[in-house]
Chain A
Amino acid sequence: MRLALRDTAGIAKRNLLRIARTPLMVIVTAVQPALLLVLFRYVLGGAITIPGGRYVDYLVPAVFVEAVLIGGMTTSIGLAQDLKSGLIDRFRSLPMARSAVLAGRTIADLSRSVFALAVMVGLGLLVGFRFHSTSWRIVAGMALIIAFGYAFSWMYAAIGLATKDPETAQIAGILPFFVLMFASNAVVPVETMPGWLQGFAKNQPLSVTVSAVRALLEGGPAWHWLWQALAWSAAILVFFFTLAVRLYRSSAA
């Protein structure tokens, strides 16, 4: 167990060094949610009305959640690159713990998501977003966002291992992002959607998490959404962790 932690720390160190040496990648990871924020805040936002509130306070918590989801995409691309370059072969031929490669990577990649999240908080405040809540609720909201991002990074890990090719991994990674982001309450209220879509859009993991984050950052009863959001993140983590580890064990470049 101690060795497994040391192996994981080694992998995390390796990936953190890589992240530190590709600052452009870190910036691009933050630019994407920033573009979404600006686009919806200034281009489309004027046409969207939120009953009983300001659109900017509705939009920005959702952008926080999207930022960590976008951050997770780098995990799939990075793993596919490692597979293609033969590094995963080397890792698998070494006596290191089988879980280390994936755990170390997802933990290191989380740093990029957290950076993107921090940038979005700054940018959100800049475009008029305000917290209307207590500080412990804000901390809880941020923790929930990070937990959600970490759970989904395992989905991206599985995508990277299944596609085995960085370009394919990138395209494949965008699909769940689009579905989760647009068939949701992230940028428009679900009530404007056709009935058949509302059921999915209300209850899918991103929507539930966004609802919980809105409640935590903007006030209002949060428990109802919070436990659902935590359940979703836990379920996604367990499911994709199992899948990704299985794919890793049988991975052949």
Chain B
Amino acid sequence: MPEPMIEVTAVGKRFGDTVALSDVDLTTARGSVLALLGPNGAGKTTLVRILTTLLKPDSGHARVAGCDVVRDAARLRTQIGLAGQYAAVDELLTGRENLELVGLWYHLPKEEYRRRAQEVLVRFGLENAGDRLVKTYSGGMRRRLDIGASLIGRPPVLFLDEPTTGLDPRTRNDLWLFVEELVADGTTVLLTTQYMEEAERLADRIVVLDTGKVIAEGTADELKRQLGGDTLEARVADASDLDRAAAVLAELAGAQPRIDRDQQLVSVPTSGGTSLLVAVGRRFEDENVALADLGFRRPSLDDVFLALTGAKTGGPE
């Protein structure tokens, strides 16, 4: 494994009686993307705040780009960019002024931060809005400017806290492309997200946090495999057939099916392959169960997430 750019060892953090993080370990290699996945209140933002020196850990150690988050905090800050959960841009400044000032605070010479501000404006499709006050920007433009500001210092490590929350699909896609470009150039990215699609698309590794603990870790495929194989799903046309359909699946797949009455859906975990699918189809025909849909479904990251966090917290709030 290449040298780790982010190393977290047994980090804990409490706020009063609330345990925000307990005994968290993780590492990220240079030039890779780590996604922190977890429900609200899982501790994702707390971990980002510790890694960006905004909070001190109560226990454990963390290093970013070789700098300890407590002892080398000042040097660490020269190595990172942060785009927080809220677009931290100044409404009463223009987009360009926002970027240039951040460049100044990265201690770049004037010509350099001017050049980079222009670059960022162009890169994020803001060149025509660069000299307008940010208060006239749409939510998506603000977010792009915010992420642009975190890149002015060309930091080797970038932290994106829910970067695409509230963005339209097109802007979200642009951002993903951009993150992929950065990573191709060697930037290490840690992002938090609530969107499985985002984690799956961008992340080399996913860490699932819940109530301050790491409850799973791996690539998207590894996490899905943990959940088991495929699911055979049959959607019946008539709700009165649900129980009959469930009996069929129980018999042929040899496992207890799950019945979703609202969706008129019967599903059962299986590793039976297409022969099972054919057998089930025939049997339904013999028994005159009218089907709306029949097929295999691979587990989505959503399933993984719900299974993992549901088991721990006893279901969604």
In the complex the two chains form, is B82's CB within 8 Å of A93's CB?
Answer: yes
Partner among B85, B90, B102, B133 whose Cβ is within 8 Å of the Cβ of A94:
B102
For the complex, is B104 an interface residue (Cβ under 8 Å from A)? yes
Asked if B49 CB lies within 8 Å of chain A CBs, one says: yes
Given the interface pairs A90-B84, A90-B149, A252-B49, the reply to whether A96 lies near B90 with Cβ below 8 Å is no
Most B CB contacts (10 A, CB to CB) among A14, A86, A90 go to A90
Q: Which chain A positions have C-beta within 8 A of B55?
A: 252
Partner of B86, one of A22, A86, A92: A86
| Inter-chain contacts of B309 with A (CB < 8 A) | none
Task: Name A17's closest neighbour in chain B (CB-CB).
Answer: B93
Check A92/B54 contact, CB under 8 A, given A17-B93, A21-B92.
yes
B77 and A14 within 8 A (CB): no
Minimal Cβ-Cβ distance residue in B for A94? B105
Q: Is B52 an interface residue (CB 8 A)?
A: yes
A95 within 8 A of B: yes
| CB-contact partner of B101 in A14, A86, A89, A92, under 8 A | A14
In the complex, which of the residues A22, A85, A95 contacts B88, with contact meaning CB atoms closer than 8 Å? Answer: A85
Q: Which of A1-24 contact B (CB under 8 A)?
A: 3, 6-7, 10, 13-14, 17-18, 21-22
In the complex, the answer to whether B104 meets A93 with C-beta atoms within 8 Å is: no
Q: Is B171 an interface residue (CB 8 A)?
A: no
Which residue of B77, B86, B92, B97 contacts A95 across the interface (Cβ within 8 Å)?
A: B77
Q: B74 contacts the other chain (Cβ, under 8 Å)? A: yes
**Given A252-B54, A252-B55, A87-B88 contact (CB < 8 Å):** yes
CB closest residue in chain A, given B133:
A21
Q: Does B80 belong to the interface (CB within 8 Å)?
A: yes
Task: Give the contacting residue for B105; candidates A10, A22, A252; CB below 8 A.
Answer: A10
Please report the C-alpha to C-alpha distance between residue A13 and residue B80 in the assembled complex, in whole angstroms.
24
Residue A91 is within 8 A (CB to CB) of chain B in the complex = yes
Across the interface, which residues of A come within 8 angstroms of B85, CB to CB? 86
Assess whether B133 is in contact with A93, with CB atoms less than 8 Å apart: no
A124, chain B: closest CB distance, angstroms: 31
Distance, CA A7 to CA B49, complexed state (A): 22
Residues of the A chain whose Cβ atoms lie less than 8 Å from the Cβ of B101: 10, 13-14
Query: Which DSSP category, helix, strand, loop or mixed, fits chain A's interface?
Result: helix
Q: How many contacts between A and B, using CB within 8 angstroms?
A: 69
Cα distance A91–B89 when bound, in Å? 11
**Residue B107 is within 8 A (CB to CB) of chain A in the complex:** yes
Name the contact of B93 in the complex, choosing from A7, A14, A86 (C-beta under 8 A).
A14
Supposing A94-B105, A95-B77 touch, asked if A89 and B88 sit within 8 A by C-beta, the answer is: yes
B86 and A93 contact, CB distance less than 8 A:
no
Contact present for B133 and A95 (CB under 8 Å): no
Give A117 Cβ to nearest chain B Cβ, in Å.
24
The docked-state distance in angstroms from the alpha carbon of A92 to that of B49 is 10
Query: Which residues of the partner chain A approach B74 to less than 8 Å between Cβ atoms?
Result: 95
Contacts known (A6-B104, A7-B105, A252-B54); A93 close to B92, Cβ less than 8 A:
no
CB distance from A93 to the nearest CB of B (A): 4
CB closest residue in chain B, given A98: B74
Nearest-Cβ distance from residue A166 to partner chain B, whole angstroms? 14
Q: How far is the CA of A96 from the CA of B89 in the complex (A)?
A: 17
**Which residues 127-146 of A have a CB within 8 angstroms of B?**
none
Closest A-chain residue to B107, C-beta based? A3
Q: B237-273: which residues lie under 8 A (CB-CB) from chain A?
A: none
Residues of B within 8 A of A87 (CB): 88-90
Question: What 1/0 flags go to A67-98 for Cβ under 8 Å of B?
Answer: 00000000000000000011101111111100
CB contacts (< 8 Å) of B52 on chain A: these are 93
Contact check, A18 vs B105: say whether CB atoms are below 8 A apart: no
Q: Which residue of B lies closest to A92 (CB)?
A: B54
Complex CA gap A91/B77 in Å reads 10
B residues in contact with A89, CB < 8 Å: 49, 54, 82, 84, 88
Chain B residue contacts of A6, Cβ below 8 A: 104, 107
When C-beta atoms are compared, the residue in chain A nearest to B83 turns out to be: A90
Annotate B78-114 by CB proximity to A: 1 below 8 A, 0 otherwise: 1010101111111011000100011011110000000
5 A-B residue pairs with Cβ-Cβ distance under 8 Å, sorted by A, are A17-B93, A91-B105, A94-B153, A95-B106, A96-B105
- Known A93-B54, A95-B153; 4 more pairs at CB < 8 Å: A18-B90, A89-B54, A90-B84, A92-B54
Which 3 residue pairs of A and B lie closest in terms of their CB atoms, listed nearest first? A86-B88, A90-B88, A96-B105
